[in-house]
Amino acid sequence: MDFRIADTFTDSLARLTGEEQKLVKTTAFDLQMNPMNPGMQLHRIEQSKDKHFWSARVSRDLRLIIHRTEASFLLCYAAHHDRAYRWAERRKLEVHPTTGAAQWVEIRERIEEIIVPSMPLPAGASTGTVPSPKRALFADRPDSELLAYGVPADWLTDVRSITDENELLSLADHLPSEAAEALLELATGGRPAFAMAAVTGASPFDHPDAQRRFRVMHDVEELERALDFPWDKWTIFLHPAQRQWVERSYSGPARIAGSAGTGKTIVALHRAVFLARSQPDNRVLLTTFSDTLAHALHDKLRRLISNQPRLAERLEVLSLNAIGQRLYQAQVGPARVASEDVLRELMQSAWDECAAKLNGMKFSPSFLFSEWEEMVDAWQLDRRESYRDIKRLGRKTRLSESQRAALWQVFEHMQRKLADRGLQTWAGLFTQLASAQSRRVAAGQAPAFDHVVVDEAQDLSVAQLRFLSALAGGAPNGLFFAGDLGQRIFQQPFSWKSLGVDVRGRSRTLHINYRTSHQIRIQADRLLGSEVSDVDGNSEERTGTVSVFNGPTPIIRLFKNEDQETHTVANWLRARISEGLPVRDMAVFVRADAQMDRARAATELAGIAYTVLDGRLTALTAMPGMAPDELNIATMHLAKGLEFRAVAVMACDDEVLPLQERIESIADKADLEEVYNTERHLLYVACTRARDWLLVTSVEPGSEFLQDLQDVRLAT
């Protein structure tokens, strides 16, 4: 008999209190050890249409719903008595007649009414006007096509009656996920692939669509790992659209793209594990551009392979700077990397020494430093001719040949000062390390890593990508990138192809958003364009993305003063707690440290304990049962890679978004576009950390970006 858990069980477990979860887990472990144990007080649920549903007593009021047959024992749902029984009475487990996948089918006759939000009347229309009948969205789709998408036969009539987006979203909550996703994609002009046909003789639970909701638990350790992180369903259930890119073989560098919430990080994690498991003699590096995100990746990987220590021995998770420093020490020698403060000090000194030779040219210190950082140092230019000829992609300020020649004197002084002090930059370190890798390959030496998987790849620097190309760029399945151009907030755009990393033909975009509600995604997407392209012409189409669940409409409010904002955010946080949301599943984000006091004030007024997240995300990486039940506060830059059930984005004021300091640092108005783009991306990142609830607030006049999110109204 196979012992399985369903994603509905892990979802229901996450809604219980900590003590209730412990009781349910104990019962689940006992059932796995002996599913037929008479002491478990199993009772058949007679009211259910599916006669295989049973109830197991957990406590006086808690019940665990089980689906039991001769071949399978399935944990389905856990809740208090009445809610648990209602869940079982409204569902049945069926094998789809066309796809052959096992799926939950909601009992149609028990859905008394699917509530559809009423649409506002068009401007100028009177209540007495009789509207013309709407055409059904799927009127021309034959039954065979709808069935091939996984729509249950019982629901064909309801699907055919859908006339608008609101009806579709309401109905989607009652359909199996593969059917809901296909219908949403059809409604938005896409062409969904038909569900994979069943393999003759195969178990309906082995179908790719069934594996996204049912999974066999082979032992107590595997079950314990699944139940320790009930909200992180990705550790157990992987979407078929993600799995195909995880397990594919690539002839060269490959990239997975997609908007926030489409599972790029999940694909990267599973790709790294897949490579380590399928290539038992190879070493795999899972990396990203910052220590903060590397710590978050390490925590997720620990959840994914905690019971496979031998796999972990060949799979390392480090930030690029950390692995770069380690390899440099081993292959080149000691490294002394200058801090940003030291670099700025040296640049000012170089400018002062050269000022008399610059014929009165005036450049701001911030422009001078960014020109050094993003062009001269990033590309490791060592001759005046190289600086004269380089294409300054991402740098909007035009410089004549004479201006470049004058500026080169400053940069040459800068390079000399670094050499005199025995210092180097990160760009210099990675460039030398790339040369070292090339020499190792030429000498026939084994690379430090056979495969490299990179998360948040849109924020890689020029030198980091040059290093990765030398490390594993020439091998099949050597480089795998996951990222979103719409979330680029740290780096200027540049050509990957020019550095030997060409992903054309091996770049795919994920379109299924399972983390962020439809309402949040729709509003956050208004901050960005419908399509984003990189310098090499690879495009990421964002309009085809669909979210597969509904949620409350995001709230965006403008206040007369900070006191009003503080009280509103505090009341909103208290409301989430009153609805049963754990405090640890909530977060408050602000633009920078200067606004942190406003986040603290709102949280303290709500009477909620909180943690200010640091670069190591310590509060989020504790072991199960040890993480503090505290709200998380952080700046928007630390939001990358995180997710919460409820998020408040505070202090989105004018001169905060975009940050006035960045505006004032611009030497030429032409450079404003890049600043505005990255500031938009930053707000997008913060808003899309929310799964179910989103609140965005500011004090008037408010950031101009809020008007893009929606028509903001002043709170009274």
Instruction: Provide φ and ψ at 293, rounded to 5°.
Output: -70, -30
The verdict on whether residue 259 carries a ligand-binding annotation is: yes
Q: How far apart are CA 212 and CA 234, in angstroms?
A: 9
Q: Are 481 and 503 in contact (CB under 8 A)?
A: yes
Distance of CA 296 to the CA centre of its chain: 12
> Is the dihedral angle over the CA atoms 299, 519, 572, 701 positive or is it negative?
positive
Query: Longest Cα pair distance anywhere in the chain, in angstroms?
Result: 93
Q: How far apart are CA 190 and CA 663, in angstroms?
A: 40
Structure tokens at 288: 């990203």
The verdict on whether residue 669 carries a ligand-binding annotation is: no
Q: How far apart are CA 24 and CA 15, in angstroms?
A: 12
Token pair 């390899």 is found at 327
Q: Are 234 and 266 in contact (CB under 8 A)?
A: yes
Q: Which SS3 state, helix, strand or coil, does residue 304 take?
A: helix
CB proximity list for 466: less than 8 A, separation 6 or greater: 430, 431, 434, 499
Strand order in the sheet with 479-482: 315-319, 284-288, 451-455, 479-482, 254-257, 507-509
Token pair 């986040």 is found at 599
Helix residue ranges, H only, 534-620: 562-578, 596-605
The verdict on whether residue 641 carries a ligand-binding annotation is: no
Q: How far apart are CA 471 and CA 55, in angstroms?
A: 55
> Is the dihedral angle over the CA atoms 491, 492, 497, 502 positive or is it negative?
positive
Q: How far apart are CA 498 and CA 358, in angstroms?
A: 33
Q: Are 689 and 643 in contact (CB under 8 A)?
A: yes
Structure tokens at 512: 């299924």
Residue by residue, DSSP assigns 223-254 as HHHHHHSTT-GGGT---HHHHHHHS---SS-E
The verdict on whether residue 124 carries a ligand-binding annotation is: no
The verdict on whether residue 25 carries a ligand-binding annotation is: no
The verdict on whether residue 560 carries a ligand-binding annotation is: no
The annotation places the binding site for ATP at: 258-265
The annotation places the binding site at: 258-265
